[in-house]
Amino acid sequence: MDSVKKIMIIGAGILQLPAIKMANEMGLYVIAVDIDPNAPGFKFADNCIQISTIDIDKVVEEAICLDVDAVMTLASDLPIRTVAAIGERLGLTTISEDTAIKATDKGKMRKQLKEHNVPIPNFYITKNYEDFQKATLNFNMPFIVKPSDNSGSRGVILVEEASDLLKVYEYTKQYSRSGEVLIEEYMAGPEVSVETLTVNGVTNVISITDKLTTGAPNFIEMGHSIPSQLSQDIQNEIIKITKSAIKAIGIDVGPSHTELIVTDEGPKIVELGARLGGDNITSHLVPLATGINMVECTILLSLGEKPILLPKYKKGASIRYIKAPEGIIHSVDYLQKANEIHGINEIILLKNIGERINKIKNSNDRIGYVIAQADSPAESTRICEEAINTMKINVAD
């Protein structure tokens, strides 16, 4: 009899929970790594290791010691280099360390995509304010400024005529771990993300998601729906560019989440991640729209197995984040009524009564969300909006 396979999951926070639970259900021996002793994923793991997910040397040492059969992370960028380092040391099915760096450093990613002629906006990488100020002269307003290595739109900002350049630079730089700040040409147009799974160097597109953001100046994701409602021609173009980007970065195995904006000159890459899409896209929307369990497929891939990637059905699935005025939440009405609307899959409030609702400046400021499934994406989106309009979040100053 085969002995039980050991999978190491890097990160045991809320984003990793679907992977830890699924690996557990699949009968694997789950080793979860997280610096936080109270990480929610630890409850579902067989072995909990309390080390920082970015302390590569220490995590590699543990992986060698435990002789793990697979290693993965789900929907966050931080542990990706650790996963790759373990994969290279133990000969497991992961991307290379070189690819992991190109997939998590926006500057290196842009350079690599440019070298491979993948459509991207003009960009400039700056290391200090003087450099930054000079580089801005090469861009027409408005342009985008962002840190080289953060996520959740932290530090991403649109610079317009009235913006104070020094303030913008200082705001963005505080979110940059490497200290690098990127300037990018502003791309206008509808935004999508593409979920893929690459098996033996062949990329399979699982879904294209239409994205709704708060728009300028901070571009926080406020909703997603699957499948995309863009024309088939544009979707074909999106697929072609996504595959060329994945190849250029060197992702030969595993998931990726690619973000694009469809400009007047055609789709261009915002960025790609060598991981599953977060924001409930891969854990909820893809399964609701296609029946494909990307989390399970990713676990199988990390074990060196070949998952079945055929859709089981075609439905519409949407998520919409809840908006409410700033202030302290003192009560929530009609939540039950909203939950009873046909097609509602789940309503989650991320803030409790007594907590403050702030102006949304990054993903962590969002207060909750609604997920729905229907026959079409237009209908699932309409159902989300109906639920949001039905419930009432009462705030006081």
Residue-wise DSSP of 15-40:
TTHHHHHHHHHTT-EEEEE-S-TT-G
156 binds, among ligand ATP, Mg ion, none (CB under 5 to 8 A by kind): ligand ATP
Q: Which does 34 bind (CB under 5 to 8 A by kind): ligand ATP, Mg ion, none?
A: none
Residue type, 138: N
- Three-class DSSP category at 126: strand
Least separation, in Å, of the C-beta of 188 and ligand ATP? Answer: 7
If contact means CB under 5 to 8 A according to the sort of partner, which of ligand ATP, Mg ion, none does residue 320 touch? none
Nearer to Mg ion, 229 or 363 (CB): 363
Nearer to ligand ATP, 187 or 197 (CB): 187
The nearer residue to ligand ATP, 96 or 363, going by C-beta atoms, is 363
195 touches, from Mg ion, ligand ATP, none (C-beta below 5 to 8 Å by class): none
First-last CA distance in the chain: 64
Give min distance, CB of 142 to ligand ATP, in A: 9
For residue 9, the minimal CB distance to Mg ion (Å) is: 22
- Residue 57's closest CA among 73, 39, 33? 33
69: partner contacted, choices ligand ATP, Mg ion, none (Cβ within 5-8 A by kind): none
* Residues 6 or more apart whose Cβ sits within 8 Å of residue 302: 7, 70, 71, 72, 92, 93, 94, 254
Q: How many CB atoms lie within 10 A of CB 299?
A: 25
Question: DSSP alpha helices (H): ranges in 206-310?
Answer: 232-249, 286-290, 294-302
Distance CA 180, CA 175 (A): 10
* Cβ-based nearer residue to ligand ATP, 133 or 364: 364
CA–CA separation, 39 and 32 (whole Å):
10
Chain residues in the site for ligand ATP (CB under 6 A): 121, 144, 146, 150-154, 156, 184, 186-187, 191, 213, 219, 221, 259, 261, 270-271, 363
- Min dist CB 77 to ligand ATP, Å, is 8
User: Smallest gap, in angstroms, from Cβ of residue 100 to Mg ion?
Assistant: 17
Taking the complex as a whole, the smallest distance from the CB of residue 120 to ligand ATP amounts, in Å, to 8
**Per-residue b/e over 348-366, b at no fewer than 16 CB within 10 Å?**
ebebeeeeebeebbbbebb
Can you give the binding site for Mg ion, defined by CB under 5 A? Answer: 259, 271
Task: Return the one option of Mg ion, ligand ATP, none that residue 150 interacts with (CB less than 5 to 8 A, by type).
Answer: ligand ATP
Residue 15 or residue 374: which is nearer to ligand ATP going by CB?
15
Q: List for the chain the helix, strand, coil content (%; round to 5).
A: 30, 30, 40
Structure tokens at 83: 């996963």
Residue closer to ligand ATP (CB basis): 241 or 300: 241
**Shortest separation between residue 271's beta carbon and Mg ion, angstroms:** 5
What residue is closest to ligand ATP based on CB? 219
Q: Which does 331 bind (CB under 5 to 8 A by kind): Mg ion, ligand ATP, none?
A: none
Closest separation between CB of residue 127 and ligand ATP, Å?
A: 19
Please identify, using beta-carbon distances, which residue of 31 and 80 lies nearer to Mg ion.
80
Q: How far is CA 376 from CA 164, 205, 227, 386, 396, in A?
A: 44, 19, 8, 15, 38
**For ligand ATP, which is the closer residue by CB, 145 or 297?**
145
Distance CA 239, CA 81 (A): 26
